[in-house]
Amino acid sequence: MRVVVGVTGGIAAYKAAEVVRALQERAHTVQVVMTAHAQEFVRPLTFAALTGQKVITGLFDAASAQGTLESAIEHIGVAQQCEALVIAPATAGVLAKLAHGIADDFLTTMYLAYTGPVIAAPAMNVNMWQHAATQANLETLRRRGVRFVEPGEGYLACGMTGPGRMAEIERIVAAVDQALMQGCELDGQTVLITAGPTREPLDPVRYLSNRSSGRMGFALAAEALGRGAQVILVAGPTALEPPAGAEVMRVETAQEMYDAVLARLNEATIIIKAAAVADFRPVHRASQKVKKSAAPPALELEPTPDILAEIGRRKGERFVVGFAAETEHVGEEAVRKLRSKNCDMVVANRVGEPGTGFDAEDNEALIVTAAGEATHFPRGSKHDLAVHIFDRIHQLQPARR
Ligand code: PMT
């Protein structure tokens, strides 16, 4: 495996040499890329001696030496040959650049051109780590599938104590191995995911809807892509940016979601219904905006098609995961939906509590399976829940095929 190690400018840059050695001991071929700031801490010669390869230090290194077209786009060539990109240490500055697509050196330009797994081991001062800007950048990158090896706590080079110290080498290398393994786990599979709310129009300007942001479904899509799947993401109205590489089908109503899902059902081997589909829609949709004075005294509603139940009827060998949003009796409702909708797994989240569920960064869930197991996922990020769900699918799906 060819692993690119990106070294950025923090005091932990010297530890990158150990990361390189540990990767080599696992038989990975390593190419080191250093930012200009990293070279203030460690000399490229250290890495050249370890890897036996020229260290890439600038966007135009090769072009200046060779002057060919190929050398001028070396970042594309390296991105194409790379099977895992490890950034260790990852400074606050480089995380900000990656999150905003700023490509002003070899590492950040190559990152944009690269589509495989990215593992980042942040290291910085505790206040920089906890700063809202850094945390927002981490969240953006997590949503796009970057895997973080979280920093440890302890005494930092700046003299402060707290989180910010680069994770231990073994954890970084284990994350690389896991990413490489998972990177092909879903090779050849197509995962169909629904996300976000639906909107059921009352008139041209009003609709019935719910608070779903799409985060849960988009986190699942990013994770499926990271594991090598083709992803079809059927998304209700959401302001989120979809993960790169997913085929996105935008829908608005439950009926449109039903049509889109059923049109692509045959291609899918795994289906995950994280969308919050409206259960009811207005029987009549006014063609003109309803005037305040003419508003009807009552709203007549009818049920929307139950997409998950229909998938359950047609599922064949597909692995079907439903969600359940409950405010009470979570366990009983999860099992009832699992059976009534013929699912292999139901992820039941308690909703209505602050900080989790609808339109929140975190989630907490009870996962029940057709095999009769129930596991509790304690409150954590939707990204971590997505990882957990795919780990469970990986364990259970072979029995369905
Ligand atoms: O989008 P976020 O802000 O990140 O929030 C995530 C979430 C809370 C929306 C998500 O975790 C979740 O719980 N999604 C399912 C919400 C829901 O509609 O639950 P339900 O219990 O009403 O429906 C059960 C299952 O049937 C769901 O998989 C749902 O997609 C499906 N369904 C429901 C109605 C319908 N007409 N068709 C369906 O397919």
Residue 287 DSSP SS3: coil
Annotated catalytic residue, options 82, 158, 184, 343 = 158
- Please answer whether residues 21 and 47 qualify as being in contact, where contact means their C-beta atoms are separated by less than 8 angstroms: no
Single pTM value for the model = 0.82
> Quick one: tokens of 176?
């690389």
The residues lining ligand 1, judged by C-beta closer than 6 Å to any ligand atom, are 196, 212-216, 254, 273-277, 279, 304, 306-308, 322-325, 337, 349, 351, 357-359, 363, 382
Q: What is the pLDDT of residue 66?
A: 78
Residue type, 347: V
CA 224/CA 192 separation, integer angstroms = 10
Q: What is the pLDDT of residue 60?
A: 85
- The CA distances from residue 34 to 42, 89, 110, 170, in Å, are 9, 11, 12, 21
Q: Which atom of ligand 1 is nearest to the CA of 351?
A: 8
Residue type, 30: V
> Quick one: tokens of 347?
């992820």
pLDDT digits (tens, 9 = 90+) for 194-216: 999 999 999 999 999 999 999 99
CA 182/CA 202 separation, integer angstroms = 45
CA 56/CA 105 separation, integer angstroms = 10
- The H or E element containing residue 226 is helix 215-226
Which residue, 86, 81, 84, 62, is CA-closest to 6? 86
Q: Which atom of ligand 1 is nearest to the CA of 382?
A: 4
- Please answer whether residues 109 and 59 qualify as being in contact, where contact means their C-beta atoms are separated by less than 8 angstroms: yes
> Quick one: tokens of 245?
């590489």
Angle (deg, nearest 10), helices 132-143 and 215-226: 60
- The H or E element containing residue 62 is helix 61-66
Sign for the pseudo-dihedral over CA of 80, 85, 90, 96: positive
Q: What is the pLDDT of residue 21?
A: 98
Q: Which residues is 122 bridged to in the sheet? A: 90
CA 310/CA 323 separation, integer angstroms = 15
Q: Are strands 374-381 and 362-369 parallel, antiparallel or unpaired?
A: antiparallel
CA 201/CA 285 separation, integer angstroms = 6
Q: Is 158 a catalytic residue?
A: yes
Q: Quote the ligand 1 centre to 274 CA distance (angstroms).
A: 5
Q: Quote the ligand 1 centre to 144 CA distance (angstroms).
A: 22
Q: What is the pLDDT of residue 398?
A: 83
**Ligand 1 pocket: which of 277, 328, 340 to mutate (most atoms within 8 A of CB):** 277
Residue type, 271: I
Q: What length does the chain have?
A: 401
Which residue, 44, 120, 45, 29, is CA-closest to 81? 29
Q: Which atom of ligand 1 is nearest to the CA of 357?
A: 8
For residue 292, what are the contacts with CB-CB under 8 A and spacing of at least 6? none
Cis before 89? omega within 30:
yes
Which residue, 198, 195, 254, 191, is CA-closest to 224? 191
Residue type, 198: T
For residue 255, what are the contacts with CB-CB under 8 A and spacing of at least 6? 281, 304, 305
Sites in the chain below the pLDDT cut of 70: 1, 295, 400
SS3 content of the chain, % helix, strand, coil (to 5): 40, 25, 35
Residue 349 DSSP SS3: strand
Residue type, 235: A
Residue 371 DSSP SS3: coil
Question: Residue whose CA is closest, atom 10 of ligand 1?
Answer: 274
Nearest 5°: phi and psi at 148? -105, 135
Residue 302 DSSP SS3: strand
Cα angle, residue 90 at apex, residues 384 and 106 outer, rounded to 5° = 120
